Amino acid sequence: MTISQQLPPSSSGQAPTSEILIEPETVGVSSARLERLRKKFHAYVDEQKLSGVSMLVTRCGKAILHDLYGYQDIENRIPITDDTLFRLYSMTKPLTSLLLIVLFEEGRFLMFDPVADYIPEFKDVKVLKGVENGKVLLETPRRQMMIYDLFAHSSGLGNFHLLPPEVGLQRASVLDVKKTIGEGVRNLAKIPLLFHPGEGFAYGHSHDVLGHLAEIITGDRLDKVMREKLLDPLGMDDTHFIVPAHRIKHLAQVYGMQPGKGLLNVTASVPPSGDYINPEAIMFSGGGGLVSSTADVMKVTHMLLNGGVLNGVELFSPFTVNYMLQDHMPRAVKSMYETYGNTDILFKRVMGGLRMSLFFATVADVQERASLDAKGSFTYGGLANTLSFGDPGTGLAGTLMVQDVSTPLNLRMTNEFKLLCYQAIRCLDRPT
């Protein structure tokens, strides 16, 4: 029996918790065109390319599409529901950024503060000059790493695969669920930077350092300060570093397409970014350790589109939100795509035309983007194909939640999601 033959009916006619589903036409969106989005992602599930999908699309804060289809656990035939929790992986990064911006607005630090003022181990960090005859060559940074560099991924702290093997960086030295993130960050300070701070872009462990900075600044664990300063004020009750015991049954499994084998459960083989179901967990990764629900993720997007306010709670000044969502990459770096020297067209669909803001990514170059993404819109996503975007110009927002790590497919899928959201707009003027 195929997945599609086992599927429960789609829950596309019901609004998510705390949302009222309205007719798309009332906010200038075509129902018929929006149906293309549903059909595309239902087909992915029916063709056994995805286990299941949760989608929420809004315009000016009003829900116009809510769709649940497929399974959070194929093997046990547990359907995706509004209660399903998804591993966010890198989607954790923008939430860590928001937490630090809360502390920034409180005057707890300045963007140009040296990281070494808070984490002394970074005082003696070196920059990788090259490798010669198997020997790692190092040089002194031209300037100190600033907290600002961590937000913009211009710190020089790259992912493991970006460093030559001679450096000897092991993932477990930073993200070991048996150690605190503070221990991991101090180990990270022993590793050379990929480039001089402020002179390049490298997606990597900067947000793990930011998460530990939050611990140092507040004197509390990241999970606790995240709850107090960000999650509770936004009403994000389904977002956790440690999944509560009564919610573990709602945690989705992770799947991926394997050559010659089809869609397989790969949860156990994906390196963990957290000890999600261990109540005694001590490692909280600001770069990838959270789980969340579709509705909770959309709360973040709506808050930013509202200028820092959600449901009457003023979390940020609109001036701060505007500052945060601008392009903050070093001017010498043309784009994230070109930084990696990648010529793969699928990779370009994700990275092309994007620049790094202090939140996550912003669309800066529509021509290079080669998609329907609007200039000035923001987007954030994670390893398992979770995605959310918001467009201040049109008021359009969308959240896509799946648990899939099939790289060629998910590089395409995230762009298809935004394309099929934008093409449904029939009136450019923001509805009042």
Q: What is this structure's pTM?
A: 0.93
Whether pLDDT at 12 is above 80: no
Residues 212 and 232 grouped into a single domain: no
Report the pLDDT averaged over residues 160-176.
72
Residue 130 Rama label (left phi>0; alpha psi -120 to 50; beta) = left
Residues 128 and 23 grouped into a single domain: no
Residue 427 lies in a domain: no
CA distances from 149 to 83, 140, 146, 195, 372 (A): 36, 17, 5, 12, 30
Q: How many CB atoms lie within 10 A of CB 237?
A: 15
Question: Containing domain of residue 192, as a range?
Answer: 111-218
> Between 284 and 172, whose confidence is greater?
284
pLDDT score recorded for residue 21: 94
Residues 389 and 409 grouped into a single domain: yes
Structure confidence by residue, pLDDT tens digits, 29-73: 999 999 999 999 999 999 999 999 999 999 999 999 999 999 999
The helix (run of H) or strand (run of E) holding residue 378 is strand 378-381
Look up the CATH number of the domain holding residue 212.
Answer: 1.20.58
Report the pLDDT averaged over residues 372-391.
94
Q: Which residue, among 89, 91, 284, has the nearest Cα to 183 in the 3D structure?
A: 284
Q: Which of 218, 246, 265 is the last residue of a domain?
A: 218
Residue 177 lies in a domain: yes
State how many domains the chain has.
2
> Between 432 and 283, whose confidence is greater?
283
